[in-house]
A = this chain, B = another copy of it.
Amino acid sequence: RKKVQIYQYVFLKWTLALLIGLSTGLVGFFNNLAVENIAGFKLLLTTNLMMKHRYFLGFATYAGVNAFLAICAGALCAFIAPAAAGSGIPEVKAYLNGVDAHSILAPSTLFVKIFGSVLGVSAGFVVGKEGPMVHTGACIANLLGQGGSRKYHLTWKWLKYFKNDRDRRDLITCGAAAGVTAAFRAPVGGVLFALEEAATWWRSALLWRTFFTSAVVAVVLRAFIQFCRSGKCGLFGQGGLIMFDISSAVPVYNTKDLLAVILIGVLGGVLGSLYNYLVDKVLRTYSIINERSRSFKVLLVLCISLLTSCCAYGLPWFATCTPCPTGITEECPVKNGSGNYKIFQCPPGHYNDLASLFLNTNDDTIRNLFSPKNDHEFYLSTLFVFFVAIYFLGIVTYGIAVPSGLFIPVILAGASYGRLVGRLLGSISSLDVGLFAVLGAASFLGGTMRMTVSLCVILLELTNDLLMLPLTMFVLLISKTVADCFNKGVYDQIVKMKGLPFLEAHAEPYMRHLVAGDVCSGPLISFSGVEKVGNIVHALKYTRHNGFPVIDEPPFSDSPELCGIVLRSHLLVLLKGKNFSKHRALTGSQILRRFHAFDFAKPGSGKGPKIEDVDISEEEMEMFVDLHPITNTSPYTVVETMSLAKAAVLFHALGLRHLCVVPKTPGRPPIVGILTRHDFMHEHILGLYPHMAHHK
């Protein structure tokens, strides 16, 4: 590349990072603003009706609004972009692993993800906006990187530099980090999340770009929140973007407290892995329902919405009324709707503590649970009921056709569990119940998601308390270790359940007992250096391979030898160009003159040419085309006797799509087969060699 092109590229890279940060920050703020206003208005309406003792109408309003919002969200998801359902983190993770699944990052997905998430969270579901924000960030990055649509001639010339796998993956990593930052206002946590959970290949150059994007998001959010302080944002309070301040509780701890912390960690790990197990079961059940028809999807959403409304409105009736505490700055019981001490059915001067948890936005509930000092704000029974309800609501909610993050349900359940344990151990441990709630949330997060450093830093940035760090780490370490004994992390589970061919970084032990030649599948279709057009068209039509080996044969070489590998997409471009010759001859230099390097650039998702679009006449079928100019002449190769484990390491470390297997002894055809991602999947290998399952 020329120097000016390098500058263009670098400039564009940073501009795109800036744009991703700006857009994600904007969307993150819009998301919060919308949720706070819609949910706040809903709660205000309900509370006002209850104040007038019109309890049934109150419930009808509450459940009705919830159901309406839920149906909107479900319909958006079911009819426009089914890929937008769920968290989105597993999909982003798979994309960054190299799975090019269609529509994961399409513009329609982005649209539904944003609005579906707003509607879903406002509808009172036990879902978060964190996973969807990550997906949104990735979608934005993908959209910007594609640079408009080729269909509408909006492609910008400069963006051609980003029409390749690596640059696109880099952008999407930035987008994922921006998403976490926008969700939690945690720039460093966002970077570490992208590093630890999302990205498969990581270069240190990417670190800085990701950090820059995250910082832009943080600045944008900060500016908007500053703007909203003046009260111009309706019901958008300080609640909008979670940021809990627990600094008033000074953590001083002794051995007894550490025992309590260990207990929290172990139990949290067990409950977390149970959560994963149940989510998996529920997802499998739901997928049967969801596959039936789109209306069934919406119906399921409606059912869960009604169930949630009943829980949220019904359970507080069983709670006892508590007299308002004295000496607090907050209003109690709240008169005008959106405060924390809900009066519910209680007499004046009292509040219903369970309603304070249920009839609030999720962010406010978490803040209540994390609040320090006030030990007796919540009854034991309240915490227990809330914990059980949220734990199971969270499980049954994930998997419905609504963009639904897992962070918030897990934090909610974990925080109530932690506060419950803190209350129970109150006589033994001197730690604050608010701290117990934070540790409980950490233990659940560790138990379900199995991330560590990023969770730790996110919690650090959320609670703004450096002194908690060692305890949080300790809890995360224990709960992750305990949970790892039972099953895999929830995101890995979902990736597997969705059947995405995710490539693990570690080769399984049983792979050492196999060699690369053992797993090459299917009949190999190879081309000559100068091949008949008809053969190529036939191969492209009747196989779904993406890479074909090219073998040079006499007269172009002394003996058959591997020339390289040619990609389906490049073959299609070549065929479209119709630069054929009547005779078997090398016409490479002519062909190169006809094409520009960027004609072969990777197109946007799902927009590549198809073999059906290429129109080749009978006469042309008999002609020849020189494949040398489009052949990658130095593909990575392994000898057929190389252990499969080493081949897998090579395949993963270099992020390959095709790996040529060559014979060990001379005198045989110069290529044995091609290994692709699917050949390394456990299902495939164990299907070929079932007895290997013992070695696992």
| Residue numbers in B under 8 Å from A470 (CB-CB) | 215, 218-219
Q: Is A427 an interface residue (CB 8 A)?
A: no
Assuming the A-B contacts A204-B196, A634-B641, A650-B636, are A666 and B559 also in contact, with contact meaning beta carbons closer than 8 angstroms in the complex?
A: yes
B452 touches A208 (CB 8 A): yes
Residue of B with least CB distance to A505? B203
Q: Is A565 an interface residue (CB 8 A)?
A: no
As for how many copies of this chain the complex holds, the number is 2
- A83-125: contact bitstring with B at CB < 8 Å (1 yes, 0 no)? 0000000000000000000000000000000000000000000
- Minimum CB–CB distance from A554 to chain B (whole Å) comes to 12
Residue of B with least CB distance to A208? B452
- Minimum CB–CB distance from A473 to chain B (whole Å) comes to 5
- Minimum CB–CB distance from A666 to chain B (whole Å) comes to 4
| Residue numbers in B under 8 Å from A143 (CB-CB) | none
Residue of B with least CB distance to A641? B634
| Residue numbers in B under 8 Å from A522 (CB-CB) | none
Kindly state the interface size class of chain A when it binds its partner. 35 or more
- A639-673: contact bitstring with B at CB < 8 Å (1 yes, 0 no)? 10111001001100110000000001111000000
Q: Is A48 an interface residue (CB 8 A)?
A: no
Q: Is A638 an interface residue (CB 8 A)?
A: yes
* A12 CA to B343 CA, complexed, in Å: 56
Q: Is A278 an interface residue (CB 8 A)?
A: no
* A133-141, A187-195, A587-595: which lies at the interface: A187-195
Q: Is A202 an interface residue (CB 8 A)?
A: yes
- Minimum CB–CB distance from A559 to chain B (whole Å) comes to 6
| Residue numbers in B under 8 Å from A638 (CB-CB) | 634, 636-637
Q: Is A71 an interface residue (CB 8 A)?
A: no
- Picked from B469, B557, B558, the residue with its CB within 8 Å of the CB of A187 is B469
- Minimum CB–CB distance from A22 to chain B (whole Å) comes to 13
A469 touches B218 (CB 8 A): yes
| Residue numbers in B under 8 Å from A650 (CB-CB) | 636, 650, 654
Residues of A with Cβ closer than 8 Å to B? 187-188, 191-192, 195-196, 202-204, 207-208, 211-212, 215, 218-219, 452-453, 456-457, 460-461, 464, 466, 469-470, 473, 477, 505, 515, 557-559, 561-562, 633-634, 636-639, 641-643, 646, 649-650, 653-654, 664-667
What are 19 A-B pairs with beta-carbon distances under 8 A?
A188-B457, A203-B505, A207-B452, A208-B477, A211-B473, A215-B473, A218-B469, A219-B470, A559-B665, A562-B639, A634-B638, A634-B641, A634-B643, A636-B638, A636-B646, A636-B650, A637-B637, A650-B650, A653-B653
